[in-house]
C-alpha cells in the first residue's frame, strides 16, 4: 500500500487490516475494505478523491504486476523503432511516470523530446476528469 499506492497512512491501514483478521471477521468485500480504509485516513477538505482509491490502486498494481510490465515494455520498445522513430507514452500514476522518465533519460538510443511531461489543460480536465492524472512523454530514437 505504501510502495504502490504511495499512501501516507499505509501503516495505519495495514494495522487495521491485521487487527480485523485477528478478531475473526475477515474482509469479504471491496466495500468492507473501502470502509476500513476510510476509517484510517483523515478526511481532507476539498479533496474529491476517495481515500480508498490509493489502496485499491496499490492492490491492482501488485496483483497485475503492472510496474514490471511497464519496465519490460520500456526496455523492449526502442528496439521496435528505426532511427527517427518516436515513442509516446501516457502514464497515469507517478510510479509509472518515474519509470518512463528514467528509461527515456538513461537509454542512449533515445533523445527526450518533452523536457517536462505534457498534461491536460483545464478545459480537457473539465470534459474528461480522468485526464487530470495523465502525463505524456515523448522520445525519439537517434541510433
- If asked whether residues 101 and 51 sit together in one domain, one would say no
Q: Are 95 and 6 in contact (CB under 8 A)?
A: yes
pLDDT of 46 = 65
pLDDT of 43 = 78
Query: How far is it, in rounded angstroms, from Cα 36 to Cα 9?
Result: 12
- If asked whether residues 76 and 50 sit together in one domain, one would say no
- If asked whether residues 112 and 78 sit together in one domain, one would say yes
Q: Which residues pair with 23 in a beta bridge?
A: none
pLDDT of 24 = 81
Pairing mode, strands 86-91 and 118-119: unpaired
pTM score, whole prediction: 0.79
Phi first, then psi, for residue 44 (nearest 5°) are -105, 140
Check which CATH number belongs to the domain holding 25 and give it.
Answer: 1.10.150.170
Phi first, then psi, for residue 118 (nearest 5°) are -85, 125
pLDDT of 28 = 93
Which of the listed residues 47, 64, 81 is the one where a domain comes to its end? Answer: 64
- If asked whether residues 71 and 55 sit together in one domain, one would say no
Residue located via cell numbers 483478521: 21
pLDDT of 143 = 81
- If asked whether residues 88 and 110 sit together in one domain, one would say yes
Q: Which domain holds residue 16?
A: 2-64
**What are the pLDDT tens digits along the chain (143 aa)?**
888 888 889 999 999 999 998 988 889 999 999 999 999 988 776 667 788 988 999 999 999 999 999 999 999 999 999 999 999 999 999 999 999 999 999 999 999 999 999 999 999 999 998 898 899 999 999 98
- If asked whether residues 75 and 123 sit together in one domain, one would say yes
- If asked whether residues 35 and 46 sit together in one domain, one would say yes
Counting the structural domains of the chain, the total is 2
What are the DSSP calls for 17-58, one per residue?
A: HHHHHHTT----SHHHHHHHHHHHS---TT--S-TTHHHHHH
- CB count within 10 Å of CB 101 equals 18
- If asked whether residues 86 and 60 sit together in one domain, one would say no
Amino acid at each position: 500500500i505504501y510502495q504502490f499506492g504511495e499512501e501516507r497512512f499505509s501503516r495505519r491501514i495495514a494495522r487495521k487490516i491485521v487487527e480485523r483478521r485477528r478478531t475473526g471477521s475477515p474482509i469479504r468485500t471491496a466495500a468492507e475494505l473501502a470502509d476500513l480504509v476510510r476509517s484510517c485516513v483523515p478526511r481532507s477538505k476539498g479533496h474529491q478523491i476517495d481515500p480508498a482509491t490509493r489502496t485499491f490502486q496499490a492492490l491492482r498494481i501488485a496483483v497485475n504486476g503492472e510496474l514490471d510490465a511497464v519496465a519490460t515494455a520500456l526496455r523492449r520498445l526502442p528496439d521496435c523503432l528505426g532511427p527517427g522513430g518516436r515513442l509516446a507514452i501516457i502514464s497515469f500514476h507517478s510510479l509509472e511516470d518515474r519509470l518512463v522518465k528514467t528509461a527515456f533519460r538513461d537509454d542512449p538510443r533515445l533523445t527526450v523530446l518533452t523536457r517536462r511531461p505534457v498534461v491536460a489543460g483545464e478545459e480537457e480536465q473539465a470534459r474528461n476528469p480522468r485526464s487530470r492524472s495523465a502525463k505524456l512523454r515523448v522520445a525519439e530514437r537517434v541510433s
